[in-house]
Structure 1
């Protein structure tokens, strides 16, 4: 097991399902992703860089793409869906999950950002 898998195993019910759904989607989109840490949080990493973390907080679930540019690229969809966000976090709940197409864009944009940075 890895850090993110262990973290998810400690969650219960709908929150666990919501976090696992994002982890599963990210793993399908970026099969080379590995479990590790990103800024001290259980995360998926890609090519040695943090790809994403998903953490349950008291009042929400936070999606951390480790990139303000990635959040900015999807801010219109987030606003239209009624999601709260800041430059480094997207907040949602198990009852109001991120749509799959938004998760896909967040993951792919961050993967592409990592690839571009490493190509320089």
Structure 2
């Protein structure tokens, strides 16, 4: 069992499905990335931090770095965001296609650095 899977098991049961869905999506998109914990959050690392995610009090936090949020700001208009964070509400489905675009963007961004 990976360190991220262990983290997911420590979260409330009603959130584990979404966290597992997010974890599986990122793992499939970035199979060469290293999985670790950073800043207390599940992190995918490939030539630098790729993305983080976390179970938060009122949402699922997704942290793809500021450039990704700027690049996808129009598609993120329905979500609460800050400089480097996106909040996915617990009462809505994860935006899988958007997350996929963001992860692929971050893979390309890290590959060019």
The TM-score with structure 2 as length reference comes to 0.89
1:98 maps onto 2:97 in alignment? no
Tell me how large the CA RMSD over aligned residues is: 1.5
Name the counterpart of 2:19.
Answer: 19
Structure whose residues are more often helix by fraction:
1
Please give the alpha-carbon distance, in whole angstroms, between the structure 1 residues aligned to 2:45 and 2:3: 11
Matched-pair contact (CA < 8 Å) for 2:58–2:90: no
Is the partner of 1:69 in helix, strand or coil?
helix
Alpha-carbon offset, residue 40 of structure 1: 4.4
Large movers: runs of 4+ above 4 Å: none
In structure 1, the residue matched to 2:5 is: 5
Gaps of 5+ in 1: none
Render the CA deviation track for 1:44-75: whole Å, top value 9, x for unaligned. 1123x21111111111111011x200111111
Q: Which runs of no fewer than 5 residues in structure 2 stay unpaired? A: none
**Does the 8 Å CA contact 1:15/1:93 hold for their aligned counterparts?**
no
2:49 and 2:103 mapped to 1: Cα distance?
11
Output the CA distance in 2 between the equivalents of 1:99 and 1:41: 20
Deviation of 1:39 after TM superposition, in Å, equals: 3.8
Aligned length: 113
> Match of 2:61?
62
Q: Give the superposition deviation at 1:18.
A: 1.0
Question: 1:74-85, aligned counterparts within 5 Å?
Answer: 74-79=72-77, 82-85=78-81
